Amino acid sequence: AQKITQTQPGMFVQEKEAVTLDCTYDTSDQSYGLFWYKQPSSGEMIFLIYQGSYDEQNATEGRYSLNFQKARKSANLVISASQLGDSAMYFCAMREGPTGGGNKLTFGTGTQLKVEL
Amino acid sequence: NAGVTQTPKFQVLKTGQSMTLQCAQDMNHNSMYWYRQDPGMGLRLIYYSASEGTTDKGEVPNGYNVSRLNKREFSLRLESAAPSQTSVYFCASSERETAKNIQYFGAGTRLSVL
């Protein structure tokens, strides 16, 4: 079974609108972390936001927020007030187990977001 | 403000050739990682090094070897390149003592094996 599932291969959003990118995960660990990365066309991987499994509040970083629903095992990324520069591939990733040395990440297949005028 | 530096950025090899991908980080991180990215498959972990002096296999280690040369440097070696190793390779590092343990990535190496 896939540990990270991103069901939206591509998404379109109008500039200045909000968009939600879906991510569901599968783990039996109680302690884990969820990450979102952005990959623009230039190819680098840019960290956006982190949610720990024990965090009681949803994470926010500027225009990015993470809608964390633990019981449903979902960690959706919400981008508010979309900008043209948000056009990129977005990856959801999971770290299983508590933090420590060599915490491996499992990545989803990504969602390609296109922001339109 | 270098962060994670990978060399080379691009490489073309013939089947059977060998090469080493270099990675260095200047953030004093303990842990380092090598991933490959193939179309439609996201990133997959090849090898990682939790700390200086240790290395472990990830999800797709076959055909690769690694060396953690020191705390800063972590190299990936292809001994006999195969067309199936055509991919984009990313190196990453993280500080294991922090609560989040965020991995920071290099710009990637685009490798083609003919």
How confident is the model over A26-75, as pLDDT tens digits? 999 898 999 999 999 999 999 999 999 999 899 999 999 999 999 999 99
Average pLDDT on B31-47 reads 92
Residue B7: predicted pLDDT: 96
What is the SS3 assignment for A32?
Answer: strand
Q: Decide: A21 and A76 in contact? Cβ < 8 Å.
A: yes
Percent of chain B at pLDDT above 90?
83
CA distance A52 to chain B (A): 7
CB contact under 8 A, A50 and B56: no
State how far the Cα of B1 lies from the Cα of B67, in Å rounded to an integer.
25
* Torsional sign, CA B55, B56, B60, B62: positive
Residues 6+ apart with CB under 8 A from B54: A101, A102, B68
What pLDDT is recorded for position B101? 82
Q: What are phi and psi of B65, to 5 degrees?
A: -135, 155
Between residues A1 and A51, which one has the greater pLDDT? A51
Report d(CA A67, CA B76) in Å as an integer: 37
Q: Could you tell me the two tokens for A36?
A: 């979102």
For residue B97, pLDDT over 80 is answered with no
Q: How far is A98 from chain B (nearest CA, A)?
A: 9
Q: Which two tokens stand for residue A21?
A: 């990118």
| Mean pLDDT computed over B27-39 | 94
**DSSP 8-class letter at B9:** S
Which two three-digit tokens encode residue B5? 């530096």
d(CA B40, CA B96): 29
Instruction: Write down the pLDDT at residue A115.
Output: 98
The pLDDT tens digits for A80-104 are 999 999 999 999 999 987 666 567 8
Q: Which of residues 68-107 of B touch A (CB under 8 A)?
A: 88, 90, 92, 94, 96, 98-107
